[in-house]
């Protein structure tokens, strides 16, 4: 059954705490939306955040139009379930490196030596934190 609210529920937060990819779409483009997979986390305030590089296409588009959506779905082999979050974003200059470290531990595992160099390279660069403040949350659970 599909439902809609303006905020994340406890069940949504539990689902989104899993290491699943979110598929991000941003507004502000002349061509059709082109979703991209992103690592993300939800916050205690009920927002969704991810990190990106300052020169990314996401940041350029969000500077023109701050609207974004992220969709997260259960993997194959599980009952169908998804959460879609639509809202306005802010691009923050603080907290991105800490977020990157937390998400690397979540998605790669905390002690993966094969990814240590990848993480070090990511942390050596400039990063921004993008925060989505939900305006519409839709969900489906089979």
CA–CA separation, 85 and 21 (whole Å): 13
pLDDT above 90: residue 9 = yes
CA atoms within 13 A on the CB side of 116: 4
Residue 104 belongs to some domain of the structure: no
Structural domains of the chain, count: 1
Q: What is the structure's pLDDT at 113?
A: 82
CATH number at residue 86: 2.30.110.10
pLDDT value for 109? 84
Average pLDDT over residues 118-138: 95
Read off the tokens for 18.
């899993």
> Residue 24 falls within a domain, yes or no?
yes
List for the chain the helix, strand, coil content (%; round to 5). 30, 35, 35
The pLDDT confidence band at residue 34, using thresholds 50, 70 and 90, is: confident
Q: What is the span of the domain harbouring residue 29?
A: 2-96+127-141
Is residue 70 a part of any domain in this protein?
yes
Whole-model pTM: value is 0.92
């Amino acid at each position: 059954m599909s439902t809609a609210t303006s905020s994340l529920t406890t069940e949504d937060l539990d689902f989104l705490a899993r290491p699943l990819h979110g598929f991000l779409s941003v507004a502000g483009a002349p061509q059709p939306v082109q979703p991209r997979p992103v690592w993300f986390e939800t916050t205690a305030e009920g927002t969704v955040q991810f990190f990106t590089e300052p020169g990314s296409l996401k940041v350029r588009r969000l500077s023109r139009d701050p609207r974004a959506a992220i969709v997260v779905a259960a993997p194959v082999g599980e009952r169908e379930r998804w959460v879609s979050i639509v809202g306005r974003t802010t691009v923050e200059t603080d907290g991105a490196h800490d977020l990157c470290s937390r998400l690397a531990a979540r998605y790669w595992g905390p002690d993966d030596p094969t990814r240590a160099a990848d993480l070090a390279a990511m942390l050596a660069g400039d990063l921004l934190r993008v925060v989505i403040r939900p305006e519409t949350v839709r969900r489906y659970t089979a």
